[in-house]
């Protein structure tokens, strides 16, 4: 007999290391042709680090995204970054990059103020120009300003940024503290079908909703949510790891033998992006990288319980575990 059930799960996740002290630096150099080079220490592991840092730089400098190059391929030559982990890169490196781009823009404004015979406070950067606010005819291209600054005024148009949240101080009387840079929220909804004769579980539908703060790149976000959800499905349904697996001799010892969900195993999925801006993230952004794999599993387990009234207390929910739980329930 096949029975269907529904389940939900919710959670939250911080960006960066709890307690403070999480550090990243960035450099933004504006070239004489008006393009920019961003140098950061966090590597891109598929989550889109290069894209986001380029977008932030382009936004601050008012230039095209295509005019920004991101360098993060050698920790010997790159500024300090604590690394690509803890769902921290968009938040921590993003803030450092924004600071560096603003510092570079400050130098550009110094040069442009002389060229346009105005004060720096009157200037804005947009549409690949530096112009007087409210007077679009009084403008220079970024390339003109950068070229004049580099060769005419002998300036090195290099902006520096360093973000590190202060350590969370604890109230000695109440023990209250604020250990998180920011919190992102998550929820997953699952529909499953359980075969009570074979113990097989078929995931019919999976909806994943995430509070991302600000969707810096919605397409990337949807890909990250779908990818994380697929990892969550693998952990929930098929990935049995030591020490819970009976013996190390049966463990895969290479990625070729490690079975993860393929496109044939992915259920009907829907990604829902919710924006509740962080008060201190870059443009309100939060980090959601890791938690995208966290809520699908509990939602699936709850749906199994709704369908057949059993609790799977350790993952994955293999047919054997489902049948043993059904037998125990019957007994």
Q: Which of 163, 162, 150 is nearest to 30 (CA)?
A: 150
Identify the pLDDT of residue 265.
Answer: 87
Please give the CATH topology (third level) of the domain spanning 23-162.
Aldehyde Oxidoreductase; domain 4 (3.30.365)
Residue 177 has pLDDT above 90, yes or no: no
Is 290 catalytic? The answer is yes
Confirm whether pTM is higher than 0.85.
yes
Identify the pLDDT of residue 249.
Answer: 77
**Sheet architecture: strand order including 158-164:** 68-71, 36-40, 23-30, 158-164
Q: Which of 99, 82, 89, 76 is nearest to 27 (CA)?
A: 99
207 and 273 Cβ atoms separated by less than 8 Å: no
CA dihedral 75, 29, 22, 213 (to 10 degrees): -120
- Is residue 25 classed exposed, middle or buried when 0-12, 13-18 and 19+ CB atoms within 10 A define those classes? buried
Q: Average pLDDT in the 236-251 region?
A: 76
Q: Which of 328, 299, 293 is nearest to 199 (CA)?
A: 328
Q: What are phi and psi of 193, to 5 degrees?
A: -130, 125
**More confident call, 246 vs 182:** 182
Whether 2-15+179-330 and 23-162 share one fold: the answer is yes
50 and 72 Cβ atoms separated by less than 8 Å: yes
**Sheet architecture: strand order including 183-195:** 2-14, 183-195, 201-211, 268-274
| Residues 101-148 pLDDT 10s | 999 999 999 999 999 999 999 999 999 999 999 998 899 999 999 999
**More confident call, 316 vs 242:** 316
Alpha carbons 94 and 181: distance in angstroms, whole number: 13
**More confident call, 5 vs 73:** 5
Q: What are phi and psi of 212, to 5 degrees?
A: -100, 0
Identify the pLDDT of residue 304.
Answer: 98
Of 117, 239, 290, 320, the catalytic one is 290
The answer as to CATH 1.10.3720.10 being correct for domain 2-15+179-330 is no
Provide the pLDDT confidence category of residue 170 given band limits of 50, 70 and 90. confident
Average pLDDT, the chain: 93
Domain boundaries, the chain: 2-15+179-330, 23-162
Alpha carbons 219 and 64: distance in angstroms, whole number: 18
Identify the pLDDT of residue 168.
Answer: 82
Q: What is the DSSP track for 201-255?
A: EEEEEEEEEEE-SS-SSHHHHHHHHHHHHHHHHHHHHT---TTTSS-GGGS--ST
SS3 category, 279:
coil
């Amino acid at each position: 007999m096949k029975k269907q059930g529904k389940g939900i799960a919710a959670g939250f996740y911080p960006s960066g290391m709890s307690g403070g002290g999480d550090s990243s630096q960035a450099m933004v150099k504006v070239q004489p042709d008006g393009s920019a080079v961003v140098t950061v220490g966090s590597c891109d592991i598929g989550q889109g680090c290069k894209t986001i840092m380029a977008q932030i730089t382009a936004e601050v400098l008012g230039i095209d995204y295509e005019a920004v190059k991101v360098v993060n391929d050698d920790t010997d030559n790159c500024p300090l970054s604590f690394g690509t982990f803890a769902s921290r890169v968009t938040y921590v490196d993003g803030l450092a990059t924004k600071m560096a781009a603003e510092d570079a823009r400050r130098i550009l404004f110094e040069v442009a103020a002389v060229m346009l015979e105005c004060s720096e406070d009157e200037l804005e950067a947009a549409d690949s120009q530096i112009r007087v606010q409210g007077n679009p005819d009084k403008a220079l291209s970024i390339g003109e300003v950068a070229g004049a600054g580099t060769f005419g005024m002998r300036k090195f148009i290099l902006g520096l940024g360093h973000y590190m949240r202060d350590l969370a101080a604890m109230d000695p009387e109440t023990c209250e503290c604020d250990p998180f840079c920011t919190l992102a929220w998550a929820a997953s909804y699952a529909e499953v079908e359980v075969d009570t004769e074979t113990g097989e579980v078929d995931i019919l539908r999976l909806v994943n909703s995430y509070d991302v703060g600000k969707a810096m790149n919605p397409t990337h976000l949807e890909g990250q949510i779908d990818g994380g959800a697929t990892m969550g499905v693998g952990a929930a349904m098929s990935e049995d790891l030591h020490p819970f697996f009976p013996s190390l001799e049966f463990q895969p010892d290479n990625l070729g033998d490690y079975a993860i969900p393929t496109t044939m195993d992915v259920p009907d999925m829907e990604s829902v992006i919710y924006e509740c801006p962080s008060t201190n993230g870059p443009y309100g952004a939060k980090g959601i990288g890791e938690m995208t794999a966290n809520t699908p599993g509990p939602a699936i387990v709850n749906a199994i319980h709704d369908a057949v009234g059993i609790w799977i207390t350790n993952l994955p929910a293999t047919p054997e575990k489902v049948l043993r739980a059904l037998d125990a329930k019957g007994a």
